[in-house]
Amino acid sequence: MTDRVFATAGDWALASDGIQWMLMRRVRRKRGDSWDPVSFVRSERSILERCMREKGDHGTATELLAELPDTFDQWRTSHP
């Protein structure tokens, strides 16, 4: 399965490769912006929130994670 970005907010995005959530950060490059993965989380939304804080997010987490269920497995069953 290819990586699929399903939510963006500011310089942050969430994606999934079918195995885990991937927290991505926008990187501005000469040839255009790209999304680089900075954390991989297969367990709980709260861990994803912590990763965002540790990577320097100061407020986007609430907006970006608002629609996620508590666990990756719950999300995966509703997004095959």
pLDDT (tens digit per residue) in 1-20: 456 888 888 889 999 998 99
Report how far residue 11's alpha carbon sits from residue 35's, in angstroms, rounded to the nearest whole number: 9
H/E stretch holding 7 reads strand 4-9
What order do you get walking across the sheet with 12-16 strand by strand?
4-9, 12-16, 21-27, 34-41
For 24-50, what is each residue's pLDDT tens digit? 999 999 999 989 999 999 999 999 989
C-beta neighbour count of 28 within 10 angstroms:
8
Find where tokens 């939510």 sit: 7
DSSP 71: B
